[in-house]
Structure 1
């Protein structure tokens, strides 16, 4: 048992609403890890339409790890959506030219939050909105229709608008050990051999698998 081919865009035969989106993303500012999928009956292979205001002249990136599950309608707002906020008007006069381009603000006058980073093994629920510069830690869960405006700790559950911590999935000791084990970095053949331990909640069993992997 070696698992599905991460290079196959549609790993579930006859079910094209689930796509390994690494194979369908062409924008060099978007990085997607192996086995991360987007589930959308309206076109799972067109994930890039959900990454908004990502402009090459700004240079920010969206980085999504491996083994993430992204539900229908999830949107990522990037730094290109930001307007200058320090003046009396936030209207972007300069983009319309015809003389107005002379009012172009300096680059450092725009709010810039940096790259948006989603860790490994993250689940993002239906219709959630991820704002610019957010980091979501490994193993986190984003509840449906959340608006994520700040960083999310590993293995935590957040929800709401703005998203707030709801609970930790495990205690600090277990989270620390899971992050150290980092099963998502194992070769896929080893992951396939130890699926039961990865999907269970027996930390000692998973640690034994990790020790066997070396």
Structure 2
């Protein structure tokens, strides 16, 4: 399992509004780097996750989350959630990993030597059958995952989705869908189609709390025009929180994203930060990092930096166009099949993350 954080790391994180419980561990067989965007709260549990966005809280009690690339902003993830666990073959002679070369006992070398061909065949067959489920889990923004949920490895949970307590999620969850059961199925959508489309275009979470000034949180239909007005007027500014990085050594370092220079820089109130990486626009689907800076490679692995860039609001890099809302005066049109696309925050390269 990953090593716990040092007292100094806990203190540094707390000072920068990244609240981490003392009994949190990051990583499983090996520690991993984790990026936490403040303010954020990580409760008791074991985590193998690349990035946790601002205003999110996650975990508690026996939380066991692995193979997660990204948890977005404003997420509410309850206790005892299990995500990304290892899967076993169901159509082999035995489901035991012993027959695919997993020797936890330390005394099976003789058996493996005598049956090497069959063990290798079983391992390769299993890997091939799991090839479509090796992606990391991606959790969008404004997602609520109830207590005791199980998330299968590779699922994408769209922005605004809700997963009912004790559900078993085996497939992707569309944005703003409410799912539940074993296996989890769509119960209904939180809002009608026009509202879902508008919310996905606004991506209000990109602006933190500033987009919500004067908004009636209880009436989404009235809230949307006010959020758009806040964005277009400049009252809402893209949120750029402090980034606390927990390294594999269990220590904490502090970073900030510089939108003007398009760089990630060390956070120091009295320090004139130097750019550690340059970014270039890649496509409408995301950004890729480009750097030959040695300090950057040591301080922040490029794959984790790519996750951060996918999560830092794209509004930092491009303007926000006005959204034309056409609210029908008739009864709201229901979502029948649901939005065809998943959360725009889902990184397309999740399978390459550590």
Correspondent of 2:144 among 123, 147, 154:
123
Matches within 5 A, 1:39-54: 40=60, 42=61, 50-51=64-65, 54=66
TM-fit CA distance, 1:204: 1.9
Of Structure 1 and Structure 2, which has the larger fraction of its residues in strand? 2
Correspondent of 1:35 among 33, 49, 55:
55
The equivalent of 2:128 in structure 1 is 109
TM-fit CA distance, 1:8: 1.9
Quick check: 1:119–1:137 contact (8 Å CA) kept in 2? yes
Structure 1 length normalisation: TM-score? 0.73
Quick check: 1:197–1:206 contact (8 Å CA) kept in 2? yes
Q: After superposition, give the CA deviation of every residue in 1:95-123 in whole Å (9 maximum; x if it has no partner).
A: 12413443131273351311111101100
1:76 equivalent in alignment to 2:90 = no
Segments ≥4 residues shifted beyond 4 Å? 24-27
TM-fit CA distance, 1:9: 3.3
1:133 equivalent in alignment to 2:141 = no
* Alpha-carbon separation, structure 1, partners of 2:75 and 2:185: 20
* Alpha-carbon separation, structure 1, partners of 2:110 and 2:56: 46
Quick check: 1:6–1:35 contact (8 Å CA) kept in 2? no
1:98 equivalent in alignment to 2:109 = yes
Matches within 5 A, 1:155-194: 155-186=176-207, 188=208, 191-192=209-210, 194=212
Change in Cα spacing, 1:26 to 1:144, as seen in structure 2 (3 Å) is closer
**Structure 1 unaligned runs (5+)?**
12-18, 55-59
CA RMSD after TM alignment: 2.9
TM-fit CA distance, 1:71: 0.8
The equivalent of 2:300 in structure 1 is none
User: SS in structure 2 opposite 1:63?
Assistant: strand
**Structure 2 unaligned runs (5+)?**
1-13, 21-39, 235-319, 321-354
Quick check: 1:122–1:140 contact (8 Å CA) kept in 2? yes
1:64 equivalent in alignment to 2:71 = yes
* Alpha-carbon separation, structure 1, partners of 2:52 and 2:187: 27
Quick check: 2:211–2:231 contact (8 Å CA) kept in 1? no
* Alpha-carbon separation, structure 2, partners of 1:34 and 1:128: 22
TM-fit CA distance, 1:164: 1.0
The equivalent of 2:230 in structure 1 is 209
Report the structure number with the largest CA radius of gyration: 2
Change in Cα spacing, 1:82 to 1:199, as seen in structure 2 (3 Å) is same
Quick check: 1:198–1:206 contact (8 Å CA) kept in 2? no
TM-fit CA distance, 1:130: 0.8
